[in-house]
Amino acid sequence: GGARSRSPTPRPTSSRAATANPLPIAFNVTGGGNYCAGGTGVTIGLSGSSSGTTYQLYNGATLVSAAIGTGGPVTFGLQTGAGTYTVVGTTTLTGCTGNMAGSATIVINPLPTIFTVTGGGNYCDFTPGVHVGLSFSSTGVDYILKYYGLPIDTVSGSGTSLDFGSILTPGNYTVSAYNTATGCTNDMSGSANVAVNPLP
């Protein structure tokens, strides 16, 4: 008879199970908004955080700040750069990274354009006085006439020069601008002095 073939005995295989490390919990990005040029900026943060996780704040592709998770909300402080901010979390123990939920946008509003205060001068007692105005104005901006820093009159910008009318009270007059849409303010250039000459 012929030889019988024997089937090979199966060898035991390793049964190690692979475990996946979880990504950082996705908390919401908070803050952002608008601020006036030259201001201190606006705050950006996270609604929550996990201990053992580092959070990196990006403006576009640029890393701008980092914070360590505390188990509660975290802040990246005041941010001044315009743009869209996102946050990436990294779990220290595993190195796993994940994007946080949402983003925050910062917009920098320009200050009102500076124009020059006009007019002022001397006038004779019992005459109509002298005019104080502004060399030019922007629409959507209110111009506030101030007497020694105290507001006394407001005129809306028209895209032309402004006249606050005839001034009788002697003293120093300045003008500040207030953008009604953004809330940004700016002082105009120069001032006008008004003085009264007595009649003979």
pLDDT(125) > 90 = no
d(CA 66, CA 56): 4
Radius of gyration of the CA atoms of the chain, in A:
34
pLDDT score recorded for residue 4: 56
pLDDT score recorded for residue 9: 58
Mean of pLDDT values over 96-117: 98
**Element housing 82 (H / E):** none
82 neighbors 63 (Cβ within 8 angstroms): no
Mean of pLDDT values over 87-105: 96
pLDDT score recorded for residue 160: 97
* Model confidence pLDDT, tens digit, residues 12-35: 555 565 677 889 999 999 999 999
* Model confidence pLDDT, tens digit, residues 127-149: 888 999 999 999 999 999 999 99
pLDDT score recorded for residue 62: 97
d(CA 187, CA 149): 11
Residues 6+ apart with CB under 8 A from 93: 52
Beta-strand runs (E) in the chain? 29-31, 33-36, 42-46, 53-59, 62-68, 74-79, 83-91, 97-99, 104-109, 117-119, 121-124, 130-134, 141-147, 150-156, 162-167, 171-179, 185-187, 192-197
* Model confidence pLDDT, tens digit, residues 63-87: 999 999 999 999 999 999 999 999 9
> Could you tell me whether strands 62-68 and 74-79 are parallel, antiparallel, or unpaired per DSSP bridges?
unpaired
